[in-house]
Structure 1
Amino acid sequence: MIDRRRLIATALAAPGLAGSAWAADGPPAAIKPPSLEELFRYPVLVDAALSPDGERVAVLREERGLAPPGSVTPEKEREYKRWKPMAGSTAKPFDPQEGHLAYIRLSKVTELDGKPVTVLLGDRAVRQVEWANNERLLVWVTIEANADVTLGQGGQGDDGPARPRSQVKTRARRVLSIGADGKDQMILAADPKYGFANNWTMDNVVDLLPSDPDHVIMQIGRNNRWNLYRVNVYTGEPVLIEQGFPNTDAWFLQDGVPVLRLDSNGDNSVVTVHARAPGAADWTLYHRFRRNEQDKLADFNVVGATTEPGILLVASQQPGDDTVVVRRFDVASLALGDTVAHHPGRDIEEIFQDEAGVIVGARYIEDRDAYDFVDPKLAPHFRALNRFYDDQCNMRLHDVSRDHSRFIVRVSGPQAPKGFCLYDRAALHVEDLGEARPWLNGRLAGMEVLRIPARDGLPLTAYLTVPVNPPKGPAPLVVMPHGGPEARDSYSFDRWAQYLTTQGWLVLQPNFRGSGGLGRAFAEAGHHRWGDAMQWDIQDCVDALIKSGRADPARLAIAGGSYGGYAAMMGAILQPDRYRCVISRAGPSDLPDFLSYMRGLDGSDSPLYAWWTKLIGDPAKDGAMLAAASPVRRIAELKAPLLLFHGDRDPIVPVAASRDMAKAMKKAGKFCAYFEVEYEGHSDWGYDDEFAFMEKSAAFIAQSFGG
């Protein structure tokens, strides 16, 4: 039994003496890698929350496979039969007898070693738990919808155009309010008299209202538009406070007052922002912004509100900024002001605040999560927590008490998919609150951070995931460039990489030039260089691994999604004898066609089109370069077999990109297998389709390697 109090105190006093919280007994002599089913098995630990006074902890858990025989409704049976795995997959569809048993474990912080109060939530899928106040909990749940209800389009109420039943799952998302004693459970705004019975999405709490603990603000659809309601957490009663316009899809609030309104175009790619200062009557047009692949507004990402009326916190990268920084934004003057948070060479990812809006710290990513703290006394505690977990996990602040004496920290990493711990700052005490997938503990592949110079001297970082039983001698390697491309990989859990390593393969994830989060100069070094310099960086990382003797040059594969899918195809064209196979998921294959699609979405003068031409090139000026950088136009140079996947509802890269690539490969007499996945978008596919994608990918690579 580890003495956690002693260990955290030791870590604070003498870093070299810190112990390990999760390897006390050492690794087993022989390690069995997890199966794909185990990697996809639903987590049993979902979320954790700390009461505002810091006295109680709620841990949300969900067990599956516990539905008693005969308890499954006919509606659920029909749903599971409709949503099948991808053709040819051995994935097990959701078992209609599987069911859920969701529950909350409630404990006093001073009695965590005792028996918690267990609050049963029944056969519901759960996603999140939060304290509305010290007496009442909110739980985000998914429940079965009434089979006789026709759901409105987009979940905006019962007055929208009906969608075919085959295109929408009959599930409803709701917020459950529960007393801290586990009693008096109710669904917020669920009484039929409120008129929301047909809404299938009714779980958007946009303000917890710390200054009004009896209420929250929710965004709920009505009359085919989103509106704001003040909802009583004790009675569930909603009161309308703001009505949206037909194209309004979000607001930002400050202490219950809407100060920004976001109106989206038809495909949600461009957002028009209106502002209204507290006390003002009318909305004022501010600006139009592109919505990026992370569903954020590019150069105007609201990350919080200050304690000053009308002053928000906005993450942006203005001319002259090397990185994304956080500034004050005055809603009345529509002006960005003083910088609140920045870190040299790294983007600020988020601001962590307490319930009153007081800033605790700004998070950025080196390789793992890191923070710049407002109170410098917190920094040694954060370093000690990292050492407590052997500096092998991401420690992300998740919740904090009002007095900042206690924190819930989310613990994750390549070998730790997700867990939570409670840290008592005064007592120097860490208490594990559980792991999401404990059956994977000690069985996951580790990750190494590699520093590799590009051929022109640009420093690159790549992440190498190594099988849990490391191979002897040169090993097969799968190169996995990320999407975006102005995104990045980091030291974190990646299910696809983990599964590929179970086959005995190394997995390399390079942050090539053009990646985001690493400064303006690094990102702009990839502009207009999709077909050459960005690919050279990937080549240089692979070359370094081969030269080190770790990768087998005769067994290399390349695979990726979105931009990563494009990079996989282009990489195999530029080096036709290097890779044994190529996998592209939703990768653009023709850059002029892709730019034409983006221009058609919102016009040639839109922020969306301006962004993509800045990133890739201007067809009017760079036509020859764009054509040369298009895989579909260079099929003759591609020797390796190609596996393509694409969702037929992809709103970012049109499905025609993969259809055209498959046709061109077939016409050229080259091997290409193509799977078009029904009802899926660009990413975050459903369980069955993600499972089938990984299963088919691994089988394709194994066959190409001769295994």
Structure 2
Amino acid sequence: MKKIFIGIIVSISFLFAGCNGESSPTYTQIDEKNTLIHREVLFGNPDKTRVQLSPDGSKISYLAPANGVLNVWVGSAVTPEAARPVTNDTERGIRFYGWAYTNDHIIYFQDKGGDEQWQVYSVDLSNGETRNLTPFEGISASIGAMSHKYPDDIVVAINNRNVSFHDIYRVNIKTGNMTLIQENNEFLGYYVDNDYNVRFAVKMTPDGGKEIFEPAGNGSWISFMKIGMEDERTTNILGFDRTGEVMYMADSRDRDTAALYALNLKTGEKTLLAEDPKSDLNWVWTYEIIGLYVPQILVHPTNKNVQAAAFNYERVHWQIIDPAIAHDLEYLEKVADGDFHIISRTLDDSAWIVDYSVDNGPKRYYYYNRNKSEARFLFTGFSRLDGRPLARMNPVVIESRDGLNLVSYCTLPLNSDSNNDGIPDKPLPMVLFVHGGPWIRDDWGYSSDHQWLANRGYAVLSVNFRGSTGFGKNFTNAGNLEWGRKMQDDLIDAVDWAVSKGIANPDKVAIMGGSYSGYATLAGMTFTPETFACGVDICGISNLTDWIESFPPYWGSVIDLMAIRVGDVRTEEGRKVLAERSPINYVDMIQRPLLIAQGANDARARQSESDKVVQAMQTKNLPVTYVLYPDEGHGFARPENRLSFYAVAEAFLSQHLGGRFEPVGDDFLGSSIIVPVGSEEIPGLEDAITGKG
């Protein structure tokens, strides 16, 4: 059940279930005075994360630091504490990995300095040898499929022949031998079944929609399905059952929210499996080896039938499709508090790895023996969070000025709300923390950013503004051509709501975020310059025209969709719209301090986007501090860089909002941070930079 999509692979994930229960390790708040939590506790590397079982269940793996850098560790499933590192990354750390069906190979992929030119690697556990399976320069490879039927082979997408399109190959993980499956000269991506057969291909259409094609023989293709722009984001093929005759789909056509369907490819019969009137079939970010953004459904490891599906309005809830797993979920929901996620399953389905997430504590991992219906606690992901004064995250629904419901999440500092009604005893300085994308969403759960800000004395508010996904296609499409307009209005409406409720001090509100939310930060500072006391822009987009024109070649087929959602860079009228919505053209409107952070190797929001804002502000003698990381891309992967950035941001926010802050201390050690402009704007920054050198 695999899908190859524009060089980024999307596949079926395992179960995430939202439940409450009893009996687990508890995490009491031992410090009622809400003492300062060190940044390293919140933003350093986890103890363990991305836990998986080998397909035969004999081994366990996870990511953990080795000499301060995240690497893959492998050990016996019986004694996970005896695991040892099997990779030797010494720079950015490994984030994406998984097991091959040989049970003796780990597959992972890695780029250099955040440039997103991904290479795929295989580690032979029998001899420790690491092999680069895609040894080509200037390409972006990804993994498209792994099947238990062919344990020695995987499917890889590579744009080494034509940078604009990804061909797909069958690659032997032991020898590196590659066999071409499909040469690609026109398609966005392909759908591959469990026998590595290409079943369908997809391309974008001029109206911003997409069209699905099936092979007709002799290299030709015939149209199978057309999906209009309004359903493009919420209608997708998810994969096939074991027979290959049933196709699973998320589908929003002829409805608002995306439901889960099974389509019989022989008879054409379409069966509704699960739906929710308020939310779409849930999609989540994952760091498994196959898939970055995947549907939250539970699929049997060998039968490939969908067993449960998740939906998420304020919190995740599950609908069971296959009664065979009902007793498992009933048991697991009683094991521990929080939302539980089935993140790994053995091939015989006798053992699962289950994690439990809460909003005010570390993630907890369990080994679940299905035959005994028994869950055994393994470890926490961040043991140093235990006993820290962590705050709760409260879901709230805010109404926009034109009547849309904005599902949002608010975190308050401990001891600021004496009657626990979600309103602090007095208005607080607040940070509006905006999600990126913008076509993703904010969720309930533990957030290091929320905890950091709340611990420093700020109320924190995250808003699913129009254009966010998960709340039906009408809500997502309401954001079309509304960058810097109604999408931004929703953020302002949320600030006004927080002020009216007595949550936020109107004179001390900051806006902060990265990628799209970096754009939203710049838009807030320029289009509504008196709303925010300051802004923190992380790898934000400042010039929409330049941004779209700088897309990597293999993003070229989405230009039609961008014309509908953001603006058409190919027409005079479209470029006018893009210019009107670009903060770079309104820098002289900025009235309040701005902190900008950027990775020099960013392939999505290039360094020039930040450089131009800084240069324009300098020309107009406006105060700005610019933090640059030569070894980072879209976001900060190295913990040393994360710590240095948050040290700067913390001092910046304290200066302008009045919250608490922790001195820089050693948090610049090992970081590549440079401050080309404005170090004098933040007290202590120049000394910290000098001390680092």
Q: Does 1:544 align with 2:497?
A: yes
Find the aligned partners of 2:636 and 2:485 in 1 and give their Cα distance. Answer: 29
Contact persistence 2:215–2:222 (CA under 8 A): no
Q: In the alignment, what sits opposite 2:427?
A: 474
Q: 1:124 aligns with which of 74, 79, 88?
A: 88
Q: Name the CA distance, whole Å, in 1 between partners of 2:528 and 2:652.
A: 20
Cross-structure match for 2:340: 395
| 1:323 maps to 2:261 | no
Aligned position for 1:35: 38
Q: Who is 1:136 aligned against?
A: 103
**Is the 8 Å Cα contact of residues 101 and 122 (structure 1) preserved in structure 2?**
yes
- The CA distance in 2 between the partners of 1:548 and 1:274, in whole Å, is 52
Counterpart Cα distance in 1 of 2:528 and 2:542:
17
- Counting only pairs closer than 5 Å after superposition, residues 185-334 of structure 1 correspond to structure 2 as 185=127, 187=129, 206-212=144-150, 215-219=152-156, 228-229=169-170, 231=172, 236-237=174-175, 240-243=178-181, 245=183, 252-259=191-198, 275-276=214-215, 282=219, 284=221, 298=233, 301-309=236-244, 311-315=246-250, 317-318=252-253, 320-327=254-261
* Conserved? CA contact 1:52–1:355, under 8 Å: no
- 1:542-593 superposed Cα distances (whole Å, 9 cap, x missing partner): 2222233332223211112222122223334444333211122233334455
Q: CA RMSD in A?
A: 4.7
Q: How far did 1:377 drift? A: 6.4
Q: Which residue of 2 aligns with 1:48?
A: 51
Structure 2 residue 433 is matched with structure 1 residue 498: no
- The unaligned stretches of length 5 or more in structure 1 are 1-14, 66-97, 109-114, 144-154, 156-164, 179-183
Shift of the alpha carbon at 1:540?
2.5
- Deviation, 1:313, is 3.3
Matches within 5 A, 1:57-68: 58-60=60-62, 62-65=64-67
Q: Alpha-carbon deviation of 1:301?
A: 4.4
1:63 and 1:587, CA in 2 relative to 1: closer, same or farther beyond 3 A? closer
Question: 1:23 corresponds to which residue?
Answer: 26
TM score, norm. by length of structure 2: 0.72
- The structure-2 alpha-carbon separation of the partners of 1:614 and 1:189, relative to structure 1 and needing over 3 Å to count, comes to closer
Q: Structure 1 residue 614 and structure 2 residue 599: aligned?
A: no
Check whether the contact 2:113–2:632 (CA below 8 A) recurs between aligned residues.
no
Range with greater deviation from structure 2 (250-259 or 197-206): 197-206
Higher relative contact order (CA 8 A, sep 6+): 2
Q: Is the 8 A contact 1:298 1:316 kept in 2?
A: no
Tell me how far 1:675 sits from its aligned partner.
3.7
Q: Residue in 1 aligned with 2:75?
A: 105
SS of 1:538's equivalent in the other structure is helix
- What runs of 5+ residues in structure 2 fail to find an aligned partner? 1-18, 284-294, 418-424, 660-693
Contact kept? 2:479, 2:565, Cα under 8 Å: no
Question: Alignment partner for residue 560 of structure 1, among 513, 522, 540?
Answer: 513
The whole-number CA distance in structure 1 between the counterparts of 2:401 and 2:516 is 22
- Contact 1:360/1:374 (<8 A) preserved: yes
Does the CA contact (< 8 Å) of 1:136 and 1:177 recur in 2? no
Do the aligned partners of 1:44 and 1:62 also contact (CA within 8 Å) in 2?
yes
Percent of counterpart pairs with the same letter? 22
Change (3 A) 1:670 1:62: closer
Q: Distance in 1 between matches of 2:161 and 2:568?
A: 39
1:658 corresponds to: 610
CA distance, structure 2, for counterparts of residue 456 and residue 413 of structure 1: 33
* Alpha-carbon distance change, 665 to 529 in structure 1, aligned in 2, over 3 angstroms: same
Deviation at 1:220, TM superposition (A): 8.3
The Cα shift of 1:411 comes to: 2.5
Q: For residues 136 and 548 of structure 2, what CA distance do their matches in structure 1 show? A: 39
Distance 1:681 1:273, change over 3 A: farther
Deviates further, 637-646 or 280-289: 280-289
Alignment of 1:264-663 (within 5 A): 275-276=214-215, 282=219, 284=221, 298=233, 301-309=236-244, 311-315=246-250, 317-318=252-253, 320-327=254-261, 339-348=272-281, 349=283, 350=295, 351-356=297-302, 357-376=304-323, 378=325, 382=329, 385-386=332-333, 388-390=335-337, 393-401=338-346, 406-416=351-361, 418-425=363-370, 427-443=372-388, 444-468=390-414, 470=416, 473-591=426-544, 594=547, 607-616=558-567, 628-663=580-615
| Contact 2:29 2:387 (8 Å CA) reproduced | no
Give 1:459's aligned amino acid: N
The one-letter code sitting in structure 2 at the alignment partner of 1:439 is R
Q: Secondary structure at 2:77's aligned position in 1?
A: strand
In structure 2, C-alpha distance between the alignment counterparts of 1:359 and 1:459, rounded to whole Å: 31
What's the secondary structure of 1:692's corresponding residue?
A: helix
Which has the larger displacement, 349-358 or 299-308?
299-308
Conserved? CA contact 1:500–1:507, under 8 Å: yes
